[in-house]
Amino acid sequence: AQKITQTQPGMFVQEKEAVTLDCTYDTSDPSYGLFWYKQPSSGEMIFLIYQGSYDQQNATEGRYSLNFQKARKSANLVISASQLGDSAMYFCAMREGGSTGGFKTIFGAGTRLFVKA
């Protein structure tokens, strides 16, 4: 069965410092995708970064990078140079399937990040 685990309910980081948000996953499907989304207090989920299971290099998007360790089944999000606007909920999600045309996506419980000035 699919499973996504985010063990950090809340994290604090000083402005301009880097922070790592943890995510572990469990799947038996060799083809899967991992996503991180940001949900500010306004409620709208915003896509941040994607890592495919066959990708050789870790994904990066601006200040976001994904530390993908396939053998450990972890996909941690690293935010560099934190900004006050980074304060939000962050969700890790996994998509598997697709061989029959249907992808299944599940989300973790989320980590709330607080950036301190």
Partner 1 sequence: EAGVAQSPRYKIIEKRQSVAFWCNPISGHATLYWYQQILGQGPKLLIQFQNNGVVDDSQLPKDRFSAERLKGVDSTLKIQPAKLEDSAVYLCASSFRGQGGEQYFGPGTRLTVT
Please report, as residue ranges, which positions from 1 to 40 form the binding site for partner 1 (by CB under 8 A): 4, 33, 35, 37
Q: Is 106 in the site for partner 1 (CB under 8 A)?
A: yes
- Give the range of 10-18, 21-29, 43-51, 71-79 binding partner 1 by CB under 8 A: 43-51
- With CB under 8 A as the contact rule, the residue among 10, 40, 52, 62 that binds partner 1 is 52
Q: Does 114 bind partner 1 (CB under 8 A)?
A: no
What CA–CA distances, in Å, run from 51 to 25, 42, 80?
A: 13, 26, 18
Using the minimum distance from each CB to partner 1, give the nearer residue, 46 or 81.
46
In the complex with partner 1, the residue whose CB is nearer, 30 or 117, is 30
Which residues would be at the binding site for partner 1 (CB under 8 A)?
Answer: 4, 33, 35, 37, 42-47, 50, 52, 91, 93, 95, 101-110
